[in-house]
Amino acid sequence: MSIQSPLKPVWFLALGIAPQGLFAMHIMEGFLPVFWSIFWFIAAIPFLWIGMAQIRRLTNENSRIKLLLGVVGAFMFVLSALKLPSVTGSCSHPTGAGLGTILFGPFVMSIMGSIVLIFQTLLLAHGGLTTLGANVFTMAILGPLIAIGTYKLSKSIGAPRWAAVFLCAFLGDIATYLGTAFQLALAFPAEQGGYAASLVKFTGIFAFTQIPLAITEGILTVMIFNFIARHNSEDLQAIQLSRKGLI
């Protein structure tokens, strides 16, 4: 499928930024105990089931939506593959889920995020197959759910669209980071202080870098969303009509 002219700058932005590292906030291969690896896979299944059904309905009603799905997938792939070293020796990264969540909803993004994470695992050694369920749950499920809730709440209280988009991307990113910290705390409770102490430790690992990254992601998401809204208003209207009745 050829890329239509109005969306070319978005594609070039997404495909032209090469990831500079292979390790980031994704939980790496083999890091989680077997129980928690299986638990998070099972927890993700209902969201993926709904997401597949919604993608099938959306694309059957309007085949042009596939192009925008590709754009948000590329946007998510690039942002979540970038890393910023933290002061603790670990890394933080954006998630890129906010844009697609606004356009298609959180359940569709569970599928898009899963595809992104599988490609990153296989091509970039970024994350892992055994930890895929955990990474999907935080970046492709929890983050988008918080993001869409934030967006709807912001719009309901009369916030301007740019503010709602920014907060959606910002808090979706933060929710992913906190979710990962929570997963690690459950898997590795501290000998002294238990889960709470472990959560504080894992939260602090990314704190210095994740907030500025979330702010940057929010600003970039506003820019890309405004570009799409300005040049592809017909597709956005079609998406909104197709999404009626979806959660």
pLDDT of 137 > 90? The answer is yes
Name the residue with higher pLDDT: 228 or 134: 134
Which pLDDT value is given to residue 115?
93
Name the E strands within the chain: 84-85, 91-92
Q: How confident is the model at residue 238 (pLDDT cuts 50, 70, 90)?
A: low
Task: State the average pLDDT over residues 69-88.
Answer: 76
Highest mean pLDDT among 187-191, 220-224, 235-239, 241-245: 220-224
Q: How confident is the model at residue 109 (pLDDT cuts 50, 70, 90)?
A: very high
* Angstrom distance (rounded) from CA 126 to CA 121: 5
- Least confident piece of the model among 33-37, 101-105, 191-195: 191-195
pLDDT of 2 > 70? The answer is no
Q: Which of 98, 97, 99 is nearest to 114 (CA)?
A: 97
Q: Which of 106, 74, 83, 108 is nearest to 224 (CA)?
A: 74
Task: State the average pLDDT over residues 58-81.
Answer: 83
Instruction: Copy the structure tokens of residue 104.
Output: 């298609």
Domain residue spans of the chain: 26-240
- Least confident piece of the model among 9-18, 57-66, 160-169, 216-225: 9-18
pLDDT of 125 > 80? The answer is no
Which pLDDT value is given to residue 62?
76
pLDDT tens-digit map of 92-102: 678 888 999 99
The CATH number that domain 26-240 falls under is: 1.10.1760.20
Average pLDDT in the chain? 80
In degrees and rounded to multiples of 5, residue 198 shows phi and psi of -65, -40
* Angstrom distance (rounded) from CA 152 to CA 3: 31
| pLDDT more than 70, % of the chain | 77
DSSP of 180-222, one letter per residue?
HHHHHHHHS-BTTTHHHHHHHHHHHHHHHHHHHHHHHHHHHHH
Amino acid occupying residue 167: L
Which pLDDT value is given to residue 26?
75
Query: What are the beta bridge partners of residue 84?
Result: 92
Q: Which of 54, 60, 63 is nearest to 109 (CA)?
A: 54
* Angstrom distance (rounded) from CA 42 to CA 32: 15
- Least confident piece of the model among 76-80, 131-135, 173-177: 76-80
Name the residue with higher pLDDT: 45 or 84: 45
